[in-house]
A and B are shown apart, each in its own frame.
Chain A
């Protein structure tokens, strides 16, 4: 299996603080790779490092065989990486339509992807003229994922998509990510072990800025001691 994204031993500083002290991971094409770990383990910073928002000081990040460490954020994105941040990053002052349109990398992207986007998120059609700020949390989450699908992205980085959502909506988000697998590769940060084990193929556990475990999701589910040690009460 070929790895679409390969992160090797990255070290990232924020100000004077050494946040990532050697994170390595790989996301295989067509799989959902899950990053687990406690709060402050460095999961979000890893995503941001991949995107060049907090560029790592050392280490390598390869995407589709190309080194992308050190590239500006917009160039990284243009290679085909979509981002769904933890706060969803919806532009509250823009309409749903504009929130989708702004993600177009070529004219007509949205029209070409209309079937995919509105097939996965039929509600968005109804909300089309509303402002982003008028949507509920769950609707914003749908919009954020839809937006990442508008351009031809090969990899989606999704940060805690189920956080703060009602159980019914969580189900829906999970279902959507299952369906996404047919189109794109996903690197997912998820605190909710139940969600992670349900949709993840492979998993990485981060602890205080380091990768401490790598393996198939199915194996992790059986290794209760490991789960207890790094994820504690989460499981």
Chain B
């Protein structure tokens, strides 16, 4: 393997890692804070992809600049995901906090429903989305052309990582979230309405996943199974990174992304997917709290 190939696969891995990060970070925080393992989280990713694509294509007649349309599409995708997320938490998850098993069953059922809704609205087959003009070229990277769009995904992921880190470390809300992941009951006895924070975190997590889906759409295409597929990778990331650990999910995302890219190159995507699930199983067996584990136990 030449250095060039190495760099190229490395960048490819980072790109995937950032997409995993966008979906996994919300999943991890939601579980850490509220003890809800959200099986519908991939659906938010899917909604983001579909809404972004529909917005991008739908506004073609009105707005001639593809870059602007793309920016609008990203925002629309994230907002749609966040909106559905907020409704989900408020209407479906919140009434079931006293019945955790049914909460999980609910999210699994919801994932199924949202996938079917997407099929009814946009059809069961896949679609493709064009890249915006300024991101459809290739950039010279160490003497080799590298698609600018992937660099965009990497930059987007890093930006979100930075913003959320600052939010978690520097703001009062972030402080409450970190405290709540550790001991939600104690936070309440300090006079803080944790349920309101739950809604907020669920909405933000859903919006991040949807933003990931929107960013992924021109890269991997738009199809109904995209949600479950990326959710599976996100599960792996969250297990490796440790449930409830934001930093853990960031590091694990990049690791899993790189592992995927190299396995894809050397073996086949299929084997790569299987290997990564196997790695998750091994981590769970050896260190169930994850490598950077923040939260003990599996809930329930």
Contact = CB atoms under 8 A, between A and B. Distances in A.
Direct contact of A and B (CB under 8 A): yes
A200 interface: no
Contact of B189 (A77, A92, A98): A77
A89 interface: yes
Contacts of A77: 188-191
A102 B187 contact: yes
A69 interface: no
Interface string A189-202: 00000000000000
B59 to A, nearest CB: 43
A93 B186 CA distance: 14
A103 B182 contact: no
Main SS class of interface, B: helix
A74 B192 CA distance: 5
Interface in A72-86: 72-74, 77-78, 83, 85
B185 interface: yes
A74 B188 contact: yes
B276 interface: no
Contacts of A102: 172, 175-176, 179, 187, 190, 192
Given A89-B186, A91-B182, A91-B183, A74 B175 contact: no
Contacts of B5: none
A107 B258 CA distance: 45
B260 interface: no
A122 to B, nearest CB: 23
B104 interface: no
A211 to B, nearest CB: 23
B178 A94 contact: yes
Given A74-B192, A77-B190, A89 B183 contact: yes
A146 interface: no
Contacts, number: 60
Main SS class of interface, A: loop
A78 to B, nearest CB: 4
A85 B186 contact: yes
B29 interface: no
B128 interface: no
Contacts of A78: 191
Interface in B174-229: 175-176, 178-179, 181-183, 185-194
23 contacts: A53-B189, A74-B188, A74-B190, A74-B193, A74-B194, A77-B188, A77-B191, A78-B191, A83-B186, A83-B189, A89-B185, A91-B183, A91-B186, A93-B178, A93-B182, A94-B178, A94-B179, A98-B179, A101-B175, A102-B172, A102-B175, A147-B190, A151-B191
Given A74-B194, A77-B191, A93-B178, 13 more contacts: A51-B189, A53-B188, A53-B189, A72-B193, A73-B185, A89-B183, A91-B182, A93-B294, A94-B179, A101-B175, A102-B176, A102-B187, A147-B190
